[in-house]
Copies of this chain bind each other. A is one copy, B any other.
C-alpha cells in the first residue's frame, strides 16, 4: 500500500488518537474549492483526459521543476508540447526519478491519486513505470475517469476556475446551460488588464473596451468596463476576484491623478516606477468595486514571475521559474485600509509566499481589520510542514475564525482530493495537539475542524 490510514498524524499515541477522531468527522465532508486553475472546458466537453504523461507530468510545475533541478531536460519531458511524441518515454523518465520527491507533498499527492484512483499499490519506480503507464492509460479511457464523473467521485460541491476578464467564459456558460449539475464557477483575475507590465497590456485594454462597449481609452470608461466585466462573471456564478501582483502595494490617488497615470501606462509614457503605482491604485479601485458588487477579493502577492529568463523565453509563462520575494504588508496595504479597512461587508483574503509575515504582519492585521481574512498556506508552503507553520504562527493572534479554510490552487485536477485530504489531516493534527496539551477542549476542536474544512470557506467566499 502507498498510503497509511494514519498518515500525517503525530506519532504520539494519545495525540494520534485524538487526530484520528477529529479527522473521522471531517474526512467525508464535500470539497469546496474556491480557488484553483482547473479548466472549465474539461467539464463542458467532458472529454477523456489524455495519457498519463500529459495528465501527471506536463501540467504540473511541481513535478517538472524538481526533475529539471536535477538535470532532466525540459525537452526530454516534452514540456510545452500540445501533443506528446512519446508520452511513455516521458513517463519512464519521471518514474526513474521518483525518489527525488521523497519528503515532498508532490509525492503524497501523486501516491494518493495512484492508489485511490487507479488502485496502484506498488511504489512508482523505473521497474514499475510501464505497469503504471498501462494501468492509468487504460482507466483514463473509461467513463468513470471523465471529468464530470471524477467531479462527482471527488465529492466536490463547488469548484472555482481562474479567468481573465477577456475570456468569453463560453465553457462556463455551456456548463450552466447543460443538464449537468456540477457547480463550476469562474473567478475574476484581471492581471492582464490592470498590470501595465503584462504582455499585451494596451491591446488587452482595447479588447476589454470592445467586449464591453466602453471607451477604455478613458479612465472612466476603463472603470466602467471592469464593472461590466465583473457583472458578466457574477452572472455565471463568480463570487471572487484574484490579484497576482509582484507586491501587496496599494495606493489611493485622487481621481485626476489616477486618470493621468492611466493615460501614461496605456501610452507607454510611464516611468519605471509607475506600473507598480498603477497596480497599487487598481487594488484600491477593485476594492471599491467589491464593496459595490460583493465579490470577495483575493490578493496573491510576492512572486517574482519568470525568474529563469531562458526557460521563460523558450517555454513561456508558468513553466516553473517563479520564485518568492520578501513581502511587506504593513505599509503596503495602508492606503487601501485607510479607505476601506473598517468595512465589515468587504472581504479581502490575503495570501503570502513570505512566511515571516504570518506572525509579524498578517495575523496582527487580520486580527484587527474587519475586512481582512487570511488565505491558507500558499504554493511552496501548501505542504504538511508549511500548513502546520501557518496554524502555529497565525492562530494565537488571528484565531481560527479569521482564516478561510483550504485552497487547492492547482492545475492538476486529479490532485484535488489528495490536497484537501492533506489539509484536513494537518488541521486535525494541529487541533489534536492543542487538545492533548489541554489548550482546547475536544468538543470545541470538533467544531473548529468542521469550520476549517467546510464552514469558513463557504462563508468567506460567499459560496
Assuming the contacts A104-B396, A359-B386, A396-B103, asked whether A369 and B328 have C-beta atoms less than 8 A apart, the reply is: no
CA distance A338 to B307 in the complex (A): 9
Decide: B354 and A402 in contact? CB cutoff 8 A. no
Please tell me if A397 contacts chain B, counting CB pairs below 8 Å. Answer: yes
Assuming the contacts A11-B437, A338-B309, asked whether A400 and B370 have C-beta atoms less than 8 A apart, the reply is: no
Please tell me if A149 contacts chain B, counting CB pairs below 8 Å. Answer: no
Decide: A370 and B68 in contact? CB cutoff 8 A. yes
CA distance A106 to B9 in the complex (A): 27
Decide: A102 and B370 in contact? CB cutoff 8 A. no
Within 8 A of B (CB), among A93-107: 99-105
Find chain B residues with CB under 8 A from A436 CB. Answer: 11
| Residue among A65, A103, A438 with the highest chain B CB neighbour number at 10 A | A103
Decide: B334 and A8 in contact? CB cutoff 8 A. no
Please tell me if A318 contacts chain B, counting CB pairs below 8 Å. Answer: no
Q: Which of A126-134, A229-237, A377-385 contacts B (4 or more CB under 8 A)?
A: A377-385
Please tell me if A360 contacts chain B, counting CB pairs below 8 Å. Answer: yes
CA distance A442 to B443 in the complex (A): 35
Decide: B361 and A323 in contact? CB cutoff 8 A. yes
Within 8 A of B (CB), among A351-376: 353-356, 359-361, 363-370, 372
Q: Residue on B with the closest CB to A385?
A: B392
CA distance A402 to B398 in the complex (A): 31
Decide: B437 and A370 in contact? CB cutoff 8 A. no
Interface, chain A (partner B; CB < 8 A): 3-4, 6-12, 14-15, 65-66, 68-71, 99-105, 108, 123, 304, 307-311, 320-326, 328, 330-331, 334, 337-338, 341-342, 344, 353-356, 359-361, 363-370, 372, 380-381, 383-386, 392-393, 395-402, 433-434, 436-441, 444, 447-448
